[in-house]
Structure 1
Amino acid sequence: MRKRDDEKRAIDAEWTPLDDEKEQASGQQDRTEDRSADWRDQVILENEHRRFYDRLRAKIEDFIHKQGQGRIDGATQYILLAPDLFVLFARLMQDRRVPAKTKAIAGAVVAYFISPLDIIPELVFGPLGYLDDIVLAVYALNRILQQVDRSIILEHWNGEENLFDVVREVLMKAEDLVGRRVFAAIKRRFKR
């Protein structure tokens, strides 16, 4: 138990929360209103990504309906993040303001989402197989937040949840969601 607390403190040390001024300046409610020089004019999902997003959203909604008549609990709430995280990374790959190194990370995350070969395969586990994709995406996003202005990332976030709360929560619960070995494998991929 003590080791897990130490690991959670290490995650907290890696996480750099926004100070109040930045959070208010780039808050999600504010960003929806001021999109006059809208990035959407420049960043549009390619058809392949759009189809993947639609299929993913449909699979997850069907899974939730079958599991509990629409009840959302446990891992299900995190599975709902998959389509929004996928779109976020697909858009970051295409944004001209994002450095090439960061685009490479975003591309790796998009490829991981699309690939049938991953640590927890969707073909075997259904939508629960997206948990490793989500943890990997959030772990990558935590690194990207150190390289790219947070307001740029928020422009591309479609999710209803506060993105920074999502990152923090998923990182804190990563071992519970995917297991210690899987989380260790994900972390190793980003230490290269």
Structure 2
Amino acid sequence: MKEEEQKQDNLPVVRPVTEVIAIELPEKHQRFYDKLRAKIEAFIREKGVNEKTAGYILLAPDLFVLLARLMLDKRVGVQSKAVAGLAVAYFISPVDFLPEAFIGGVGLLDDVILSVYALRRILADVDESIVREHWNGEEDVLGVITKVITEADNLVGQKIVAKLKDILRRK
């Protein structure tokens, strides 16, 4: 997608990353991240989830950690912290549109979609360099946001996407 098309669709503009910043997670966070990622990978292997869907599900730990870090960053405004907090709470809550307790790792898709919509909203107020600083995913964070938003309807359906957007509108 070209830069002009991204702007028209209200998506973040993906630019090449000029410098990769290695982020060291505190041991407690690393353990949580590793456990969550291992659990998701085991679910994917066990259930034979297709590669495309698996790629989206595997974004969950990276997005969760990013949002948690943004909540703690003093450079992030109160409104953006509230949006990040809402997304983190949705991740943690057992009550959501695709509950993991009943459908396993595929239930993380709505969490991933809500997270990227929250990040898009956060990026309206927070410099992208701050968001990139906290991102430890393999792909460019703005590219991830664009990719997930573009595929959201196909991943969970228009009705669920509309409900997820509505959650953020109320915030």
Distance of aligned partners of 1:31 and 1:91 in 2 relative to their CA distance in 1, 3 Å threshold: same
1:113 matched to 2:91: yes
* 1:86-101 equivalence runs, <5 A: 86-101=64-79
* 1:39-118 equivalence runs, <5 A: 47=28, 52-68=32-48, 73-118=51-96
Q: Which has the larger radius of gyration?
A: 1
Give me the whole-angstrom Cα distance separating, in 2, the residues matched to 1:188 and 1:151.
27
Q: Is the 8 A contact 1:91 1:156 kept in 2?
A: yes
The Cα of 1:15 is off from its aligned counterpart by 1.4
In structure 1, what is the equivalent of residue 19 of structure 2?
A: 30
Aligned length: 166
Q: TM-score, normalised by structure 2?
A: 0.86
Q: Which has the higher contact order (CA 8 A, sep 6+)?
A: 2
* SS in structure 1 of the partner of residue 74 of structure 2: coil
The Cα of 1:130 is off from its aligned counterpart by 0.2
The Cα of 1:72 is off from its aligned counterpart by 5.7
* SS in structure 2 of the partner of residue 31 of structure 1: coil
Which of these residues, 13, 20, 25, is aligned with residue 17 of structure 1? 13
Give me the whole-angstrom Cα distance separating, in 1, the residues matched to 2:30 and 2:68.
10
- RMSD, aligned α-carbons: 2.5
Query: In the alignment, residue 167 of structure 1 is paired with which amino acid?
Result: I
In structure 1, what is the equivalent of residue 131 of structure 2?
A: 153
Q: TM-score, normalised by structure 1?
A: 0.77
1:66-117 deviations in whole A, cap 9, x for unaligned? Answer: 134xx86131110000000000000000001000111111111111111111
- Gapped runs of 5+ residues in structure 1? 1-8
Distance of aligned partners of 1:45 and 1:191 in 2 relative to their CA distance in 1, 3 Å threshold: farther
Q: Is the 8 A contact 1:17 1:164 kept in 2?
A: yes
In structure 1, what is the equivalent of residue 105 of structure 2?
A: 127
